[in-house]
Amino acid sequence: MNRICVYCGSSPGLLADYREAGTQLGHMLAGRDIGLVYGGAAVGVMGAVADGVLEKGGEVIGVIPAALATREVAHDGLSKLFVVDSMHERKAKMAELSDGFIALPGGWGTLEEIFEMLTWAQLGFHDKPCGLLNISHYFDHLYAFLEHAIQQRFVREAYRPMMMIEESAESLLDRFTSYRAPRVKKWIGPEET
């Protein structure tokens, strides 16, 4: 695994745990010689992850739309910063550069990004691992909802391994290294309606 994309808040959030976990994940990525691809900001949890990788001499690639470069305070110390025209271009570039996707605590944008990658995996557009780093139980309710979606047959049981959830970065990264995407016939036939 050469690079992992990390989605997370440009806000620091309520708990100091969120930024601390971002820094620790950054240290761990650099320690494993895994580059970071992320949204390019110098602030919030995003900035903590990038700074954590940079502190340990790792590679950090940021991708930020021009309209957000000043609003989100683009990080000026990255290995490379792509300034793109739109959010769509941002997400496509981040996906192209990455071998896996992790969400740390964040808001709607974070959720939208990780769920888009999860959806692409379900559709067979990629076979890269997706995971939630569940800092201070941030994703507990979301994961419970995903279990509910499986129980209600809106998500197939066979897709469960596509979204990993761990409370430690080490455990999540270990699972990423052994991940094999499930192969499931996606399209629903008349007998399943």
pLDDT in tens, 79-113: 999 999 999 999 999 999 999 999 999 999 999 99
The per-residue pLDDT for 52 is 98
The per-residue pLDDT for 188 is 58
CB 18 within 8 A of CB 45: yes
Residues in the chain with pLDDT < 70? Answer: 72, 185-193
CB 51 within 8 A of CB 23: yes
Enter the tokens of residue 155. Answer: 């998500």
Question: What are the start-end ranges of the E strands in 71-162?
Answer: 80-84, 101-103, 130-133
The per-residue pLDDT for 12 is 94
The per-residue pLDDT for 29 is 98
What structural domains and CATH numbers belong to the chain? Answer: 3-177 (3.40.50.450)
The per-residue pLDDT for 192 is 56
pTM summary value: 0.93
The per-residue pLDDT for 189 is 58
